[in-house]
Structures are given as structure tokens and as C-alpha cells.
């Protein structure tokens, strides 16, 4: 026996064109399926047997022979996909991938470097690109997984030697290519390699076009890198401002802990707090357990637990509707004597909550009340008064960005002929409609994984019965617009993309397109945090050198919780086997043209409610004031949230108990007023929240809510 020579380089010369490289892939003989021998055995043959003739190569972009040679890369990929589709089983397709992998030469060690790693793949995958002097892309790829190498072989065969424009013309979401990607159900954990390598190739193609046109690479977004030892590396002035407070002043931490402990004060704060405040609170929590940082839904629940544990006061770091909700929920839980304080004597507003209290929103609700049967699904980020008035007009259930989709799907499944009215966030409403339209193109099996009582027919039938309010936006998420999205496509298309459900449609679509390949998430702040943690856990389990880059498509105040979670995971794994060099980079998609003063005409292109909010601010936070916000591009920080300062928190804590009534303007509002139907605003306003809590616990709408939708709010179920 002897051993056949293995290919020595990635590019083999094509017949009659020695200067032109060509990747030779073995053909799949008609009717014969290869057996999955180990690689060590694939190159062994009998010394007395005749060597088989060399297999014909797949057509290449730069070949001059054959009708298929000049085919567009999309066509070549489609033909390859058709070949995979024609195979009788996933096991056969998997064997075909392994046969292709055997023909792909190994990438030289100098090219197996971190800068050539493809993010998002379960296995390690490298992609190297070299110019050929003729304006064509020369790709080489490799992986430590044979299945991933097979995917790499497919893409290199189709795209090596093409122009940058041809590479960009291939749509990763093209359903005709499904057998090469998501359709490969026998190896789902490796199928993302197909999409991620293609996206990485397209990023390199954009760089090549920019270089050809003489365009300088754009300035990257600011970012913060967290290394394995927990150290921070800030890139850009905005990131430096964020990092400044992630190692808090110990004397401030001690001062806060002492006063909270002495006076039994609990603290509930939103993720979007100022980094300085969050840094102090995160450190203080290690010594005083009654501190909780979360999204708005959990804040009130945490306050109740603190009251049950003996806290006499609750300080709320958020906007006014959050402190109102905390006050109302505590009263419902019969903790009326527990004081609730907010952080400013002035109004701490919210552009989204204000939109829901407008006359236009009331008109939207009156239109809903004329349609039978109707359910109003209202975002939790609205005032208690708004919820109460809405519930008297139309049966109402509260939702969050993480449960809005299952809430609406369950409502349609549970109540025949229902019409759903969602508000007030216009972008979230549009994104929900977009999501359902995408679902209408999915198979029944795929839809059933999302909601077991739905299929293509039911999803298609509910689309005309879903309405959303179209003039209410969060002033932060409103600014993740076209300019920011284009820069993400150009420079960060191969990164992990996160997007809050409230972002504009372009940013939503970008994250949704990345989601099937494991590179995107759309949801709440907690969903985003969990997504980052899950991918870091995967990298720590693999324990290989890795750089994970996440684009933070929400308010930048989340960075404190992200850094704390990342450091906690690093510490948890620090006692394990030899530690690999793993880094997490958080990218802040903020605009470089931040301004410090408002202008009279700078916000004309924004939605009316957002433009009004910006024009009413004396100062629009900019990079110089560490807010990273611009009325011409992107905004990553909420100026209302930043009214919650450390100074205010310490001032209020030191003055408690408020025997001289000096803190009356800081007390959370308690609703003693009545609704138009003569009921308590607090009582009626809490009911949509209780309906949501029932849904979260049971995954069904309560009998009481269903009765209200079918028979009206005035009549109680028997």
C-alpha cells in the first residue's frame, strides 16, 4: 500500500490556463454515495491498482471553458444547492460535504490568525483574502471541523475569482440556497458556517470596492473591549466616557451602602441609568442586597420583595411612569406605608409615554372601541393613568418587548374573529407586523415552534386584523436610523447584532436577518443581555482564543450590566482548564456628528413627537458630555434617564425620613383621582398589568380578560 499525494496548495492550475488558480472538487458519481471514512483513510489506495482519472473541477468564475464557466456566482451556488437537494437524505448531504472538505487544502499557519477568524461559527473558521491585481477576489478558507470545511469549499469554489460586486450580489437569505444553509438539518450547529462565511466574504468585498474607489475606511464606532482578566480597553472618546465609571469610587460606594443600610432603603433602577450611577450601584449591591437593576417590568416586583424584606423606603431610578407603577404595585400588595421616591423635583418624562397620553392616541382607542371584538395591547412603558383610561375604552393587556409577540399570537388563537390594536410604539408595531409577514412565508412546522396553535393560514388571516399606532417613538431608539444602519452594514455585518424591539425597521431587519445564522437578537434589554451571555458561555466552553464583537442596538446605559455579567462569567470559568484569550467587544453605534445645542431646524426630519422632545431640551447630549447623541444620526443615550444622578440619590437618602416634608416633590405620585367612569385610576390602571402577569404564568389570557373582550368591560364573568 502507498499513500496518494495530498493537495499542496489551495489553488491548483486549470488546464490550458496555468496562471489561473482553480479549486478542484471531487465529483459525486451518479448513483454512488461516498462512505464517511475517516480522513486518515481517504488518501490510501492499493499499490497495484490503477489511479482513477483526475475528477473534473467545478466551474470557476475566471474559467474560460464551458458554458457554466461564465455563470454568475448566484447561479453556480444554486446549481450546487440543487445537487444537494437531489440527494435522498441529510446523511447523504453530510457525506457530500465531507467529500468536498477532503479536497480543500489546509490554510497555511500564518493565515490562521485571529484577524481572519469568522465570528458566529461553532467551530473555528478562518477566511483569508488576497488581491490578484485584476480586481478580483481571491478567497481561501479553512476550519477545524470537517463539516465546516465542506461549507467553506462550496463558497470558495463559487466565489473565488469573482468581482466584489458579484460577491455582494449573492443574497445569504436566498431560499434557493437553503440546502446549503438552514436546510441542512443533519448538521444544524454547522449550517450557520455557510451564512457567516458568506457574510464575511461580502464584508471583504465592500472593503475592496472602497479601496478601488480611493475611499478611506470610515471611522469605526466607539467600543469597549472586556478582556479575560476583566480589564477594559476603551476605543473612542464616547467609550472612554462610559468606561470611566465602571471602576467606581470606593468612598462613594461606602457612603451609599452605609446610608442604605442605616435607613433600610431599597433601590430599583432601570438598565438605562447613567454609567456612574450604575457603577456605584453594582459595587454597592455586593454589600447591600436590596439593590436591583433591570428593565421596567421587574422593577415593581423587586420593590415588593424589598418591602417584604423590611425596607422602609424605595428609591426609583427611572422615568416617572416607573415610579408611579412601583407606588401602585406596592399599594396593591398592601405596603402603603413604604415610601417611594424618584430622583428629581422636576418631571422625568418619556417621549413614548407622552405619545400614549395624547389626544391622537385617544382617537386611536376610540376607533378600536368601535370594532368588535377588540383587544388593546399596550406597551408597559406608559403611565398608569394612560393604562386606566385605555382599559375603560377597550379591554387592555400590558406587554413588554419580550412577551408582546406571544401575547398577540395567543390572543388571536384564543378569541375568534379578534382585532388587536397595539400601541404606542410605532416602530415596535411595524416590527411586529413585519415579523408576522415573515412568519406567513414559513412552513407550518416552523410556525408551530413559535406558537403551537398557529399555521400559515392562521398567520395570514390575522394580518389584516392587526393595527398599530403610528405616531409614537422612543427618542433614543428612533435615532438608530439609515445612517447608522449603513455603517453597520459596511463595517460590522459579520458581528453579532442586537436590536431592541423599539428600533426603526432598517435596524430591526438587519438583526432579524442575522438571527437565523445565530448572529442576531431582537427583543428586550434582558433578551439582549442573555444573548451576549449565552455566546460568551459558548466561547468559554470551547476555550479557544476568540474575539466576540456585539453591536449594541439599544440605550448605552446597558453597558454597566453587560460588563458586570461578562466579568462574572470570566470569574466563574477562571478556575477551569488552561485559559484561552477570549475578549468581548461592545460596539456603540453612535453618530460622530453629535451636537451640544439644539437648533430650530435640526429635527425637521424626525417624527413629530420626537422632534418636539428634542426641541424642548436646552441641551442635546453629545459626545462631549458623554451621551453620544445627535439629531442628525444616532443616539445611544436617554437624556431623561440621565436626570437620575448619584447626587440626587444621596441627597434623598440623607434626608429620609422626611419629617419636614422637604421631599414632597420627589415622592412618587399616588393616584387618588377617578377615571371617567368613576373608578380608581390606580385600581383600573393595574388591571392590564395583572392580565399580563396571568399570561406570563399560564401562557393564556385570563378568563376575565377574554370575557371583557367578548362581552365588554362593564359586565363581570359569572
Cα 322 to chain center, whole Å?
24
Is pLDDT above 70 for 414? yes
123 — phi, psi (to 5°)?
Answer: -90, 170
> What's the pLDDT at 386?
93
> What's the pLDDT at 504?
81
Provide the H-helix boundaries in 425-524: 426-439, 444-450, 456-462, 482-491, 505-514
Is pLDDT above 80 for 661? yes
Is 505 a domain residue?
A: yes
120 — phi, psi (to 5°)?
Answer: 90, 0
| Residues 120 and 165 occupy one common structural domain | yes
> Running DSSP on this structure, what letter comes out for residue 159?
H
Residue 654: band (very low, low, confident or very high) from pLDDT cuts 50, 70, 90:
very high
Q: Which has more confidence, 36 or 117?
A: 117
At a CB cut-off of 8 Å and minimum separation 6, what does 260 contact? Answer: 266, 267, 284, 288, 290, 291, 653
- State whether the Cα torsion 532-533-536-542 is positive or negative: negative
Is 232 a domain residue?
A: no
585 — phi, psi (to 5°)?
Answer: -115, 125
Q: Rg for the chain (alpha carbons), in Å? A: 29
| Residues 657 and 597 occupy one common structural domain | no
Average pLDDT of the chain is 81
Strand partners, 397: 377
> What's the pLDDT at 430?
92
Is 235 a domain residue?
A: no
> What's the pLDDT at 598?
33
Question: CA–CA separation, 200 vs 117, rounded Å?
Answer: 9
Instruction: Name which of 87-91, 152-156, 323-327, 580-584 the model is least confident about.
Output: 87-91
Instruction: Detail the DSSP E strand segments found in 71-136.
Output: 125-131
Distances (CA, A) of 652 to 76, 255, 317, 351: 68, 13, 12, 26
Is 236 a domain residue?
A: no
| Residues 553 and 611 occupy one common structural domain | yes
- Residue closest to 522 by CA, chosen among 620, 432, 627, 406: 432
Instruction: Detail the DSSP E strand segments found in 436-581.
Output: 466-468, 496-500, 520-523, 546-553
Domain's final residue, options 189, 212, 235: 212
> Running DSSP on this structure, what letter comes out for residue 478?
G
Is pLDDT above 50 for 13? no
> What's the pLDDT at 590?
76
> What's the pLDDT at 198?
92
> What's the pLDDT at 479?
63
Please give the positions annotated as active site: 121
Question: CA–CA separation, 145 vs 98, rounded Å?
Answer: 10
> What's the pLDDT at 70?
54
> What's the pLDDT at 39?
36
| Residues 70 and 125 occupy one common structural domain | yes
C-alpha cell belonging to residue 440: 406567513
Burial class, 104, CB count within 10 angstroms (exposed 0-12 / middle 13-18 / buried 19+): buried
Strand partners, 293: 269
> Running DSSP on this structure, what letter comes out for residue 34?
P
**Helix, strand, or coil (residue 650):** helix
Is pLDDT above 60 for 703? yes
Q: Please state the domain count of the chain.
A: 4
> What's the pLDDT at 577?
62
The CB density around residue 669, as the number of other CB atoms within 10 Å, is 18
| Residues 706 and 633 occupy one common structural domain | no
Q: 570 with 654: CB under 8 angstroms? A: no
Instruction: Name which of 45-59, 87-101, 139-153, 641-655 the model is least confident about.
Output: 45-59
42 — phi, psi (to 5°)?
Answer: -65, -30
Average pLDDT over residues 105-126: 91
Average pLDDT over residues 613-619: 39
Instruction: Name which of 134-143, 431-440, 476-485, 674-683 the model is least confident about.
Output: 476-485
Average pLDDT over residues 494-510: 88
Question: CA–CA separation, 312 vs 265, rounded Å?
Answer: 6
Is pLDDT above 70 for 182? no
Is 227 a domain residue?
A: no
| Residues 522 and 613 occupy one common structural domain | yes
Residues 241-294 pLDDT 10s = 778 878 788 999 999 999 999 999 999 998 888 778 888 999 999 999 999 998
CATH number of domain containing 696: 3.40.50.10800
> The domain containing residue 62 runs over which residues?
2-212
Is 433 a domain residue?
A: yes
Q: What is the number of alpha carbons within 13 Å of residue 557 lying toward its C-beta?
A: 30
Question: CA–CA separation, 169 vs 453, rounded Å?
Answer: 38
Is 49 a domain residue?
A: yes
CATH number of domain containing 23: 3.90.1010.10
Residue 622: band (very low, low, confident or very high) from pLDDT cuts 50, 70, 90:
very low
> What's the pLDDT at 110?
93
Out of 182-191, 575-584, 691-700, give the one with best mean pLDDT.
Answer: 691-700
| Residues 303 and 422 occupy one common structural domain | no
Residues 212-235 pLDDT 10s = 888 877 788 889 999 999 999 998
Quickly list DSSP for 374-429: EEEEEESSS-HHHHHHHHHHS-EEEE-TTTHHHHHHHHHHHSTT-EEEEES-HHHH
Strand partners, 586: 224, 550
110 — phi, psi (to 5°)?
Answer: -60, -20
| Residues 611 and 707 occupy one common structural domain | no
Q: Which has more confidence, 515 or 631?
A: 515
> What's the pLDDT at 181?
54
> What's the pLDDT at 614?
40
| Residues 188 and 44 occupy one common structural domain | yes
> What's the pLDDT at 256?
96
Question: CA–CA separation, 453 vs 459, rounded Å?
Answer: 10
Is 217 a domain residue?
A: no
> What's the pLDDT at 191?
66
Amino acid at each position: 500500500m502507498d499513500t496518494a499525494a495530498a493537495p499542496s496548495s489551495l489553488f491548483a492550475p486549470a488546464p490550458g490556463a496555468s496562471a489561473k488558480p482553480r479549486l478542484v472538487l471531487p465529483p459525486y458519481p451518479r448513483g454512488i454515495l461516498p462512505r464517511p471514512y475517516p480522513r486518515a483513510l481517504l488518501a490510501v489506495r492499493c499499490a497495484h491498482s490503477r489511479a482513477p482519472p483526475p475528477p473534473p473541477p467545478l466551474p470557476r468564475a475566471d474559467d474560460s471553458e464551458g458554458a457554466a464557466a461564465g455563470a454568475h456566482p448566484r447561479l453556480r451556488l444554486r446549481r450546487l444547492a440543487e445537487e444537494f437537494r437531489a440527494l435522498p437524505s441529510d446523511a447523504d448531504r453530510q457525506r457530500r460535504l465531507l467529500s468536498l472538505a477532503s479536497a480543500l487544502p489546509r490554510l497555511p499557519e500564518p493565515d490562521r490568525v485571529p484577524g481572519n477568524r469568522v465570528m458566529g461559527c461553532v467551530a473555528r473558521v478562518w477566511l483569508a483574502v488576497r488581491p490578484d491585481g485584476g480586481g478580483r477576489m481571491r478567497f481561501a478558507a479553512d476550519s477545524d471541523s470537517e463539516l465546516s470545511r465542506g461549507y467553506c469549499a462550496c463558497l470558495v469554489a463559487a466565489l473565488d475569482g469573482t468581482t466584489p460586486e458579484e460577491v455582494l450580489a449573492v443574497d445569504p437569505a436566498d431560499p434557493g440556497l437553503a440546502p446549503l444553509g438552514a436546510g441542512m438539518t443533519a448538521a444544524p450547529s454547522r449550517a450557520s458556517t455557510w451564512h457567516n462565511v458568506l457574510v464575511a466574504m461580502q464584508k471583504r468585498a465592500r472593503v475592496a470596492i472602497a479601496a478601488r474607489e480611493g475611499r478611506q475606511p470610515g471611522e469605526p464606532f466607539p467600543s469597549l473591549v472586556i478582556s479575560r482578566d476583566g480589564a477594559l480597553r476603551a476605543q473612542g472618546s464616547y467609550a472612554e466616557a462610559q468606561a470611566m465609571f465602571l471602576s467606581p469610587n470606593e468612598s462613594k460606594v461606602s457612603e451609599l451602602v452605609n446610608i442604605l443600610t442605616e435607613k433600610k432603603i431599597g433601590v430599583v433602577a432601570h438598565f438605562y441609568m447613567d454609567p456612574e450611577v450604575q457603577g456605584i450601584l453594582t459595587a454597592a449591591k455586593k454589600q447591600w442586597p436590596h439593590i436591583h437593576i433591570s428593565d421596567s417590568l421587574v422593577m415593581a416586583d423587586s420593590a415588593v420583595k424589598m418591602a417584604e424584606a423590611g425596607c422602609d423606603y424605595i428609591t426609583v431610578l427611572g422615568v416617572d411612569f416607573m415610579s408611579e407603577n412601583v407606588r401602585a404595585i406596592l399599594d396593591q400588595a398592601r405596603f402603603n406605608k413604604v415610601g417611594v421616591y424618584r430622583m428629581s423635583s422636576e418631571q422625568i418624562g418619556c417621549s413614548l409615554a407622552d405619545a400614549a397620553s395624547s389626544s391622537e392616541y385617544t382617537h386611536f382607542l376610540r376607533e378600536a372601541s368601535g370594532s368588535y371584538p377588540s383587544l388593546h395591547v399596550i406597551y408597559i412603558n406608559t403611565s398608569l393613568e394612560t393604562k386606566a383610561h385605555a382599559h375603560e375604552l377597550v379591554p387592555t393587556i400590558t406587554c413588554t418587548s419580550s412577551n408582546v409577540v406571544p401575547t398577540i399570537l395567543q390572543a388571536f388563537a384564543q378569541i375568534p374573529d379578534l382585532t388587536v390594536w397595539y400601541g404606542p410604539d410605532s416602530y415596535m408595531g411595524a416590527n411586529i407586523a413585519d415579523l408576522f409577514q415573515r412568519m406567513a412565508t414559513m412552513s407550518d412546522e416552523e410556525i408551530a415552534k413559535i406558537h403551537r396553535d398557529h399555521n400559515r393560514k392562521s398567520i395570514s388571516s390575522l394580518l389584516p386584523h392587526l393595527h398599530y399606532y403610528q405616531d409614537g417613538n422612543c427618542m433614543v431608539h428612533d435615532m438608530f436610523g439609515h445612517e447608522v444602519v449603513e455603517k453597520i452594514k459596511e463595517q460590522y455585518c459579520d458581528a453579532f447584532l442586537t436590536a431592541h424591539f423599539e428600533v426603526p425597521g432598517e435596524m430591526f431587519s438587519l438583526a432579524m436577518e442575522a438571527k437565523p445564522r445565530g448572529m442576531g437578537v431582537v427583543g428586550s434589554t434582558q433578551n439582549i443581555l442573555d444573548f451576549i451571555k449565552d455566546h460568551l458561555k459558548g466561547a468559554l466552553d470551547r476555550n479557544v482564543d476568540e474575539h466576540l464583537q456585539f453591536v449594541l442596538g439599544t440605550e448605552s446605559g446597558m453597558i454597566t450590566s453587560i460588563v458586570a455579567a461578562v466579568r462574572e462569567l470570566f470569574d466563574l470559568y477562571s478556575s477551569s482548564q488552561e485559559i484561552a484569550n477570549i475578549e468581548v467587544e461592545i460596539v456603540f453605534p453612535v453618530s460622530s456628528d453629535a451636537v451640544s445645542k439644539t437648533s430650530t431646524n435640526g429635527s425637521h426630519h424626525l417624527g413629530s413627537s420626537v422632534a418636539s422632545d428634542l426641541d424642548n431640551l436646552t441641551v442635546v447630549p453629545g459626545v462631549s458630555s458623554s451621551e453620544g447623541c445627535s439629531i442628525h444620526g444616532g443616539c445611544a443615550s436617554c437624556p431623561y434617564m440621565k436626570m437620575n444622578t448619584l447626587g440626587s440619590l444621596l441627597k434623598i437618602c440623607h434626608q429620609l425620613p422626611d419629617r419636614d416634608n422637604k421631599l414632597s416633590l420627589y415622592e412618587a405620585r399616588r393616584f387618588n383621582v377617578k377615571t371617567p367612569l368613576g373608578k380608581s385610576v390606580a385600581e383600573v390602571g393595574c388591571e392590564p398589568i395583572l392580565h399580563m402577569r396571568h399570561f406570563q404564568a399560564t401562557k393564556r389570557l385570563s378568563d376575565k380578560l377574554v370575557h371583557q373582550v367578548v362581552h365588554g368591560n362593564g359586565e363581570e364573568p359569572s
